[in-house]
Amino acid sequence: MNTKTLDPSLLDLLRSVDTPTVCNAIEVAQGRRGFDRFTRRTVLAAHPGLAPIVGFARTARIRARTPSGDAAETVRARRMAYYKYMAEAPRPALAVIEDLDFPDCVGAYWGEINTEVHKGLGVSGALTNGVMRDLGDMAADFQVIAGSVGPSHGFVHVVDFDERVNVFGLEVAPGELVHADRHGAVVVPNETIPVLARSIAKLQASERLILDPARRPGFDFAAFEAAWAAFERSRI
């Protein structure tokens, strides 16, 4: 996204709805089915009860199975440059980290220390296809959506950052708006952002045409048939 800003009211709304709702609302905004910029695998959430994380992607790639082949001073300089990159991110910011060892990831990048550091630097949360650890000791109110849980950090190191990454089949470019929760993640297309609040409201209103009758006593097939007809009319 070019502007790197998000209206506060839209941010509050996006934090109040789950990722499936956002995925459906994007289709409403686009006027067709077939939106496909979403993750493709089951994910794990460090804090399943937390609100969804929303932010402009700050991207990086890591490895952990083997040590870096670069000189120690190069590894350290890259690490410090990475944290500076995260600290200077437009807000809200979301770390999107591709583990290049996937699907055989062994080293946890996300644990007590890195969640506290990223939270302190102003990052809202993290999405990774890699490993997390220190469950119960991670930073409060810092969500990590990961691919697995493990005990070791292995030889985890940053390979590069601020490049396009692929996490669970979802390609994410730096600066793109991402919405994620325990269901997975989606990239919100730039052109849908101005109409997304209206699209969410339209989606929720149409869903109530089915849900409200279904939750009333005496709901039967005739009531369902009438509700479904009203639902279909609302989507025209």
SS3 assignment, position 202: helix
Q: Write down the domain spans for the chain.
A: 37-188, 205-234
pTM exceeding 0.85? yes
Q: How many Å apart are CA 29 and CA 24, to the nearest integer? A: 9
Q: Model confidence over 128-169: pLDDT tens digits?
A: 999 999 999 999 999 999 999 999 999 999 999 999 999 999
Q: Which class would CATH give 37-188? A: alpha beta
Q: How many Å apart are CA 206 and CA 133, to the nearest integer? A: 41
Name the band, by pLDDT with cuts 50, 70 and 90, for residue 4.
low
Q: Model confidence over 202-212: pLDDT tens digits?
A: 999 999 999 99
Would you call the peptide bond into 103 cis, given omega within 30 degrees of 0 as the criterion? yes
Bridge partners (DSSP) of residue 148 are 131
- Residue in the block written with tokens 């709805």: 17
Q: How many Å apart are CA 98 and CA 105, to the nearest integer? A: 10
Using a 10 angstrom Cβ sphere, with 0-12 exposed, 13-18 middle and 19 or more buried, the burial of residue 183 is buried
- Residue in the block written with tokens 């809200």: 92
* Phi, psi at 192, each rounded to 5°: -90, -15
